[in-house]
Structure 1
Amino acid sequence: MKKLKYLILLFLTTIDRIISLSGNEWNILSIIIIHLTLILSIVEIIVFIKLYSFNKGNYNKFIKSNLNKHYKLNSRYQQLENVYTGNQLTPSFIFHFLNILGSNLVCIGTNYIKLNNDSFNILIATIFILHAIAKLGTELTLIIFHPILRKKLFKIILKLSKYIKCLNNIKVENEFNIKMTNNSKEQNLHFEMLKEAWK
């Protein structure tokens, strides 16, 4: 309980110190935080890759050593789940890294390279597009690499494609009926002209 009180006190003191910073100090602090975040993201990806390769290696060793020997379903299942989780989360970590990298590019563009307004606006627009793609990629990869969510996604896509196909059939049918109505009017006019010509 004492540790929690000290942490809360440290947090409040840090917030008070940050609020009382001048503009130049605030700028330096934000640069340090953004670069530190990028470094931590790179470390996060490296640790995750090491953990993933370790789990995959353990799973392969377990399969080789327990082919005909004492077979435990629980340990094999746990090893396999670790590998599946690694497959599922790896793209998300990469997209998360791209988000942080985009923020770093804005920081570099504003603090180190003095960009003019047009270049800065292009940089901001590009970073927003990068963020949107990375967020969409994170969500899609989590869904695509998860077996149950992937099945549900494909069912939804199949229903939507059937619905769109049904709407297209109705539209084509309506256009066909309109053309037939116009054609029958033209035919009636043609036959009336022939009738008048025969008189």
Structure 2
Amino acid sequence: MSTLTLVSPQAALADSYRALVAEFKDSGGQLVPFVLGFDHSDFPAFLARLDDNAQGLGLPEGFVPHSSFWLVDESGEVLAVSNIRHRLTASLLREGGHIGYGVRPSARGKGYGTALLQHSLAATAQLGITRALVTCDRNNRASARVILRNGGVLEDEVVSAQRGVVVQRYWVELIR
């Protein structure tokens, strides 16, 4: 596996990020994490929005501050995206968790999800969070394996009120 770095979103990676989003859309898959659905046609405005989100500015009602990160290889390709919520609401505690993440479809099955979550858990610990909730749909076996490889312990399963699917809730103890 190549050298991987977790970076904050940046203008220099705009083309690779846009290609990642296009790949997600072309695959017909869900845009996870949700920030992949943000308009990025005006990239400086998109980056400003992500920065505001991390500071808790301009968030829709019910949202919490959240930081986005990109997993990048040594060539500058954005392979995966994570979004870390700084705290949990009752709804996020039930089925959203602290960390949402997604790997570019062409990069799946190569260990990048495991690396992304490992780096994202370290970033979560830097926020002062000592125990992170990470969730996935029960039918997403690849995501469950990624969570387990990163020390996730299954607490339970719940039915998503919004989507009607079974969601698995895993806790990961973080070392600070």
In the superposition, the TM-score normalised over structure 2's length comes to 0.26
In the superposition, the TM-score normalised over structure 1's length comes to 0.24
More strand by share: 2
More helix by share: 1
